Structure 1
Amino acid sequence: MRHARSSANGSGILAGRSAGVGLDETGAGQAAGLVDRLAGVPLRQVVVSPLQRCRETVAGLARARELAPVEEPDLTEVDYGEWTGRKISELTQEPLWRVVQQHPSAAVFPAGEGLAQVQARAVAAVRAWDRRLADDEVWLACTHGDVIKAVLADALGMHLDAFQRIVVDPCSVSVVRYTETRPFVLKVNDTGGDVSGLLPPKDSSGSDAVVGGTAGTAQSA
């Protein structure tokens, strides 16, 4: 899950790891709605980026489930380095902007980290948590847009250079089921409605894909 809308999302500022960036009024409403939105989904654990906007997003849901969110540093926001706190309109004029858009695997933010490094740490963290927790159960990781896009690109078998094709809105849920041999991407950028696709199938022990496609129900995903 991407964090709900923050005070920086509508400001045109690249917040990055800046302190004190919490949810705005819209984001607070999105976060409050998670209790009902995910009511039909049992959660074994909530794992969260250490940044304020992610912690605020899952706080009410975690209380309702009597779960203590666990912070995972490797799911924190991209270290945008010298780009942090700058206006997006200014950044679009930087030569690096074109690299970020068209060749992100080569993009390294000045005095920050590279997007390839972000993908490596985030994918490793998600897979490690899944091995630790998942046994036909669901767990939730609340993190950031570019981090989620990088994880989804890996799960889809896409090169990181194509990850800008993925859209991840505030408070959206994307669902990946990891198996012994491959991930299955069940949902991308879901912002509400039917959550049945978040539930694991009755028989999720196999790693084979369904030949000819599924029957279109959550249990056959």
Structure 2
Amino acid sequence: MRAVITGGTSGIGLSVALTLGKEGYDIIITGIDKENADNALSELKENNINAEFIYANSMEEDDVNQAFDQIAKQYDSIDVLVNNVGGLGGRQKFDGMETSFMRRVMALNFDSAFFASRAAIPLLKKGTNPSIINYSTIAVTSGGGPGAGIYAAGKAAIEGLTRALAKELAEFGIRVNAVSPGTIDTAFHSATSRDVMETWKSGIVMKRFGDPSEVATVVEFLTSTKASFLTGEIIQVNGGQAFI
């Protein structure tokens, strides 16, 4: 079995790589941070996981196509694509938002998943129990925090992409689902002070932040045969944050 994880060099992506690797997948991670990649590969190999890194900026169409061309030259198929790349990209309110900022955030969150999914489909068609996993966010339902509206909009587009791909790819046996994390304790929130972050717990039913491994285990379930009748779903992983 073989899984490609975009941006899998740290955070939730690396946790997914470790979880899938321990389930027997060979791991291919992409990204742009060579230092993080080296550290990730070391950790994966310490856990006896076969892993490799391919440099690719997921926001750049040519980079993504070249990465999957390289994968196709090495392997006949892949079984899982995890579109892990994404992020806030900064904060700007709509009334003063620069067009360049809007396009950058959309490229980070939507274009990255579109480019990778399109490039991966021919390889997934030849895979075993093939699956694509996208990432949404709790911000889709909340509208996002101050200045994070375009991030919420980009992830809303991901939810639409997930369902559209699920419909289009079902005839090939490719399932497409998404996980929607709430507040997970990763470097994603590093721009926010810890004191401010602690106040967020009052809005979470379980009164704590999630761990990356708690997202990774849901991803692993969605890729497994246990989820064989699930497609087009958006799975919330937020400790009850969505319904307070």
- TM (normalized to structure 1)? 0.41
Name the one with the larger strand percent.
2
Name the one with the larger helix percent.
2
